[in-house]
Amino acid sequence: MLLLRILLVVFFIFAAVDACSPSDRAALLSFKAALKEPYLGIFNSWTGDSCCGGWYGVRCDPETLKVTDISLRGESEDPIFEKAGRTGYMTGSISPEICKLDRLTILVIADWKGISGEIPKCLTKLSHLRVLDLVGNKISGEIPSDIGNLNRLTVLNLVENAISGTIPASIVNIGGLMHLDLRNNQISGEIPSNFGKLEMLSRALLSRNKLSGSIPTSVTKMYRLADLDLSMNGISGLIPANIGNMPVLSTLNLDSNRISGEIPPTLISNGGLGILNLSRNGLEGQIPDVFCPDSYFMALDLSFNALKGPIPNSLSSAKFVGHLDLSHNHLCGSIPIGSPFDHLEASSFTNNDCLCGNPLRTC
């Protein structure tokens, strides 16, 4: 008799842990119904009542039994993928019913290649959302204009989709945003001028879009920004003079834009900057002669600009220059001698006006 009672108690505990709230269950089933996953059967477990126990990719808060995470990655090491010997593929769209999961904190629907449709506008009502990761799909339409309502968001990752429209002005209100990745979409318009308000941001990756306008000077105030990638857009104007004073900036990619003016000396003298790509712009003037013993460039690419004058002598004092490309400019004079140059090939210097010295012809 006692044993039976214990068993019953155990049974109810497990039953309670497994079942999610009926409204969450209904929302999950609508979400599933709008998607088609023909190869792996990742939704096979999404049946019955125990959506908090064993539905693939779903997690709940054990106390409230509300769904907190949906994490569905099309490229993963999960046995489901190894067994099928392929990566994921899904079509369909993200049902707005997902917005009824009012305790959702993590939404990852990544690398399914074929999911189309728009980001449901109602997603911005999910005030607990911390991670929104929809990379590697075919999602179109715009980023919801009130994305700034998601004030707990730390990660917004929409890379490799077909998203158009502009970067919503409200984005700067996401005070805790740390990682913004919008690469490889069709986003146009200007970067909001007060973008620098995102003071927790450490990576701002906006390359391969259709952005125009200039680099907002407010970015120079972003004291946690380590990686700024604006390459392959239509960005014009000058590089903000103070950009090189940013304390933790280590990668700056501004290549393939329409940036003009001169290279700010702070960029060259910043010892923390390891990757600087300014290739394929309209930069003029001379390369600032401010390299110093703590300059450590894994890659320094200034090719395809209109730079003139000599290669600064101070470059020989740099601690390390891994990959240097100064080709396709109007540089002239003798190539400095020193350890940063020993390993470089002629291609680093070709198509200039009158450079000479090793590895080019002797002067």
Q: What is the contact surface with ligand NAG in residues (CB under 6 A)? A: 231, 255-256, 277, 279-280, 299, 301, 323
Closest CA to 205 of 169, 159, 167: 159
**Shortest distance in whole angstroms from residue 357 CB to ligand NAG:** 22
Kind of pairing between the strands at 308-309 and 275-277:
unpaired
In whole angstroms, how close is the CB of 277 to ligand NAG at the nearest point? 4
The torsion angle over the Cα atoms of residues 155, 159, 164 and 169, rounded to 10 degrees, is 30
Name which of 111 and 227 has its Cβ closer to ligand NAG: 227
CA–CA separation, 342 vs 57, rounded Å?
52
Q: Between residues 137 and 207, which has the closer beta carbon with respect to ligand NAG? A: 207
Q: Which of 194, 207, 202, 143 is nearest to 176 (CA)?
A: 202
Q: Which is nearer to ligand NAG, 157 or 256 (CB)?
A: 256
C-beta of 275: minimal distance to ligand NAG in Å? 7
Closer residue to ligand NAG, CB minimum distance, 275 or 360? 275
* Closest distance of CB 305 from ligand NAG, Å: 11
The nearer residue to ligand NAG, 73 or 280, going by C-beta atoms, is 280
42 or 211: whose CB is closer to ligand NAG?
Answer: 211
Q: What is the DSSP string of 112-126?
A: -B--BSB--GGGGG-
Task: Provide the minimum distance between the beta carbon of 198 and ligand NAG in the complex, in angstroms, as a whole number.
Answer: 25
CB of 325 to ligand NAG, least distance (A): 6
**Helical H segments across the chain, by residue range:** 2-18, 22-33, 79-84, 265-269, 339-342
> Is residue 284 within 8 Å of 261, Cβ to Cβ?
yes
Instruction: Find out whether the peptide bond into 79 is cis, omega within 30 degrees of 0.
Output: no
